[in-house]
Amino acid sequence: MTAPRLPFILMLAGLLGLAGCSTHQPVSLYQLDSGSPAQPAQTAGMAVLLGPVVVADYLQRETLLQRQNDGSLQGSVDGRWAGSLSSDINQLMLRQVAGQLDSQRVVLAPAPTGFTPDVQVLLTITRLDSGKSQPAILDAQWRLIDRRGQVRDNRIVHLQEEHTGTTASQVQAQGVLLQHLAQQLSVALKPLANQPPIAEAPRKQAPVQAKPAEPQKPKMPMATPIRTDMEVFRF
């Protein structure tokens, strides 16, 4: 009774072993390529507040998405992001913009205490993806707010980068797109470095209070001579 069962048991063990190997295949982790930004040297350069940076909801995940020919998105089976994609985007943009402006005074929102920016950048990333047969595409929009709170620039950007089809080349292409975005943003920021200082509003002087009028003293009635019919003779 035990002999016929032996091949079946061996076959079942082999299938379980294959299933175990397939479920434990190593998955590659990827980070965006930030390039080689220049190290900023000026400690008193242009003050820029970068953010808030809003990233599309569909990118808020560890799964590395693949754009299909029909436009749909599927999770990659051989790779995922090594951490937060939003954090990678923030850090890449920070290093690139600081290097392009040669300024150590580029910070991410929220602004630290006592930091007064010359310009605030409101950045929205609405698309950043690619596929084996689809190019890497970046759609973004920025608004630049000067120190007076006025919008100085509003731009919608569409960028595209080709790759070789591998997952690694797709991630590299997406990083290159963000580098190009940072370069264009820096060009728009540079003219705002020489803003005239904000003139302080003149202080209003406190109104001078009028001295209270002194109470008038009652006037003494003037004595009026009394005329009589009598005449006075002097000898």
Question: Residue 103 has what DSSP assignment?
Answer: B
Euclidean distance between CA atoms 75 and 63, whole angstroms: 6
Residue 232 belongs to some domain of the structure: no
- C-alpha distances in angstroms, 92 versus 20, 100, 114, 182, 221? 38, 12, 24, 9, 96
Tell me how many degrees the CA angle 203-206-212 measures, rounded to the nearest 5: 170
pTM for this model (two decimals): 0.75
Domain containing 186 equals: 47-190
The enclosing H or E element of 152 equals strand 151-161
Percent of the chain with pLDDT over 90: 64
Does any domain span residue 16? no
- Domain annotation covers residue 19: no
| Residue 159, in any domain of the structure | yes
List residues bridging with 28 in a β-sheet.
Answer: 79
pLDDT, average across residues 39-56: 93
Residue 70 within a domain: yes
Q: Is the pLDDT of residue 176 over 90?
A: yes
- Looking up residue 159, the CATH number of its domain turns out to be 3.40.50.10610
Any domain includes 27: no
Structural domain includes residue 11: no
| Average pLDDT score over residue span 59-78 | 93
The pLDDT assigned to 208 comes to 64
**Residues 154-166: what's their mean pLDDT?**
97
Q: Which two tokens stand for residue 220?
A: 């003494």
pLDDT at 13 over 60: no
In a domain, 208, yes or no: no
The residue with greater pLDDT, 222 or 91, is 91
pLDDT at 235: 46
Inter-residue contact 182 to 75 (CB < 8 Å): no
Which band of pLDDT confidence, cut at 50, 70 and 90, is reported for residue 200? low
- Of 99-113, 162-176, 195-209, the poorest mean pLDDT is in 195-209
Q: Is the pLDDT of residue 47 over 80?
A: yes
Q: In terms of Cα–Cα distance, which of 90, 95, 103 is closest to 54?
A: 90
Total of domains in the chain: 1
**Model confidence at 52: pLDDT above 90:** yes
